[in-house]
């Protein structure tokens, strides 16, 4: 089979390596891929958002199955465009990807179908939003409606910060049209859990839970990033909580989307907060999380391509999807200065890896045979071990064997999860 994977980060590298485990896979094309992915797939320099070029490529190369991984092409309708040409796709259609593409849509969906989430107000007028934050409870959570590269959420501790957040989105348009509507919501507290799921619109199969570390610095300090590391499973997510989430969040969401005529097929990501009043939805993503995928897929014991094909074809309930009874940790090595200013173009040296260790490349270019850093997040060092503690130690040992100038990583990935564990 010839597969196409749209995207070019660490998440896509993890997906591609997992897809390659299926013996029927002859070729994987990655658009655009990256210098590290080029060792596992044939990369072509087509942007993930250039939908006409992607469709054209898929037709010319007679691709049998496509996976669209990032949010922006999905929200723009990449799955619709490929399927219109008869190419089966793992990834939701545009009318379902809106669950991530518009926060107003997702909040209204949750309101209508009684899915637990933070209380909120929607504003389309600057004056009304400013008036509201003058008396709103603090901290106030201000969110741009549309996609904003994971940066569209501001937690304002003071009225001045809340006003500045509203102005930056609605007046200065720092996120472009994404900020023409804003959601201002109640601040929730509690541990965060990421649950990715496979769903064909009828059946929902949650994957192993995980915990992201979004802030740049140790102790969850510094600016928000795309994610500095992950562990799986997330020890806060007990079997009991999983059942509550299935009954009050996962199934109601899938059914709500179907009832709205927006059947969701693909990976639906539930960003949850375990509040004192029970689990609530912080956000939905219409795709695999990054770097959650880098710890979740190595724990998957069932063939990924088979699952993706069943998801696309609406046959998910026929499968028995299994997970390894182990833990995984991903330590992201970034360019020092990320997420603000940083330098790239430095050679990367990688150590040999064992079967239970993976290095997923996120931002790198190939210069001949040499891999050069090419992004803020450069790679993820991932280890799978019987216990969380062993997985963390092994991931740091792996990360410490990787070298490039100006490499930076958090040193406390997994520590909160370890502290939350009852046994080890």
Query: What is the rounded distance in angstroms from the CA atom of residue 273 to the CA atom of residue 210?
Result: 12
- In sequence order, what are the residues at sequence separation of 6 or more whose Cβ sits closer than 8 angstroms to the Cβ of residue 34? 8, 9, 13, 43, 361, 362, 363, 364, 365, 374, 375
Can residue 132 be called a binding residue for ligand AMP (CB under 6 A)? no
Tell me how far apart the alpha carbons of residues 49 and 62 are, in angstroms, rounded to a whole number: 20
- 153 contacts ligand AMP (rule: CB under 6 A): yes
Residue 245 near ligand AMP by CB under 6 A: no
Strand partners, 347: 372
Residues for the chain: how many in total?
424
DSSP states of 88-102: -EES--HHHHHHHH-
Residue of the chain from 105, 187, 323, 408 that contacts ligand AMP (CB under 6 A): 187
Nearer CB in complex with ligand AMP: 69/272: 272
Which of 81, 107 has the CB closer to ligand GLY?
107
Q: Is residue 42 close enough to count as binding ligand AMP by CB under 6 A?
A: no
Taking CB within 5 to 8 Å according to partner kind, which of ligand GLY, ligand AMP, none is near residue 282?
Answer: ligand AMP
d(CA 90, CA 68): 6
Contact 196, 288 (CB under 8 A): yes
Taking the complex as a whole, how short is the minimal distance between the CB of residue 137 and ligand GLY, in angstroms?
A: 26
How many of the chain's residues bind ligand AMP (CB under 6 A)? 14
- Residue 185 binds: one of ligand GLY, ligand AMP, none (C-beta under 5 to 8 A by kind): ligand AMP
Q: What is the binding site for ligand GLY (CB under 6 A)?
A: 150, 212, 227, 285, 289-290, 292
8 A C-beta contact, residue 249 and residue 206:
no
Q: Of the two residues 50 and 212, which places its CB atom closer to ligand GLY in the complex?
A: 212
Paired tokens of 182: 């804003």
Determine if 416 is a binding residue for ligand AMP (CB under 6 A). no
Determine, following the binding rule CB under 6 A, whether residue 162 of this chain makes contact with ligand AMP. no
In the complex, the residues that contact ligand AMP under the rule CB under 6 A are: 118, 141, 150, 153, 155, 185-188, 192, 214, 271, 282-283
């Amino acid at each position: 089979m010839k597969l196409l994977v749209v995207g070019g980060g660490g998440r896509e590298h993890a997906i591609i390596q997992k897809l390659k485990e299926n013996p029927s896979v002859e070729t994987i094309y990655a658009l655009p891929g990256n210098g590290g992915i080029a060792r596992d797939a044939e990369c072509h320099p087509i942007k993930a958002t250039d939908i006409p070029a992607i469709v054209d490529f898929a037709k010319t190369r007679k691709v049998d199955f496509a996976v669209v991984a990032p949010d922006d092409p999905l929200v723009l309708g990449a799955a619709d465009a490929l399927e219109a040409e008869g190419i089966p796709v793992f990834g939701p259609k545009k009318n379902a990807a809106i669950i991530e593409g518009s926060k107003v849509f997702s909040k209204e969906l949750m309101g209508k179908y009684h899915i637990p989430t933070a209380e909120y107000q929607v504003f389309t007028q600057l004056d009304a939003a400013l008036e509201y934050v003058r008396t709103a409870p603090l901290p106030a959570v201000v969110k741009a409606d549309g996609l904003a590269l994971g940066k569209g959420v501001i937690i304002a501790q003071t009225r001045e910060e809340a006003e500045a957040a509203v102005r930056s989105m609605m007046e200065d348009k720092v996120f472009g049209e994404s900020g023409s509507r804003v959601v201002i919501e109640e601040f929730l507290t509690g541990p965060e859990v990421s649950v990715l799921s496979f769903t064909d619109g009828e059946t929902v199969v949650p994957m192993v839970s995980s915990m992201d570390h979004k802030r740049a610095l140790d102790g969850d300090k510094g600016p928000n990033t795309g994610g500095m590391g992950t562990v799986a499973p997330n020890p806060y997510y007990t079997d009991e909580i999983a059942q509550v989430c299935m009954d009050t969040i996962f199934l109601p969401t899938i059914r709500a989307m179907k009832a709205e005529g927006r059947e969701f097929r693909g990976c639906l990501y539930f960003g949850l907060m375990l509040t004192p009043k029970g689990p609530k939805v912080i956000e939905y993503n219409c795709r695999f999380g990054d770097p959650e995928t880098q710890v979740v897929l190595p724990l998957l014991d069932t063939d990924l391509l088979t699952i993706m094909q069943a998801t696309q074809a609406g046959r998910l309930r026929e499968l028995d999807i299994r997970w390894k009874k182990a833990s995984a940790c991903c330590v992201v090595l970034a360019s020092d200065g990320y997420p603000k200013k940083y330098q790239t173009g430095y050679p990367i040296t990688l150590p040999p890896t064992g079967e239970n260790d993976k290095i997923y490349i996120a931002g790198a270019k190939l210069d001949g045979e040499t891999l050069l850093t090419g992004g803020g997040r450069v790679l993820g060092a991932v280890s799978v071990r019987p216990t969380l503690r062993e997985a963390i130690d092994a991931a740091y040992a792996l990360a410490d064997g990787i070298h490039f100038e100006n490499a930076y990583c958090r040193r406390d990935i997994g520590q909160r999860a370890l502290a939350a564990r009852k046994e080890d």
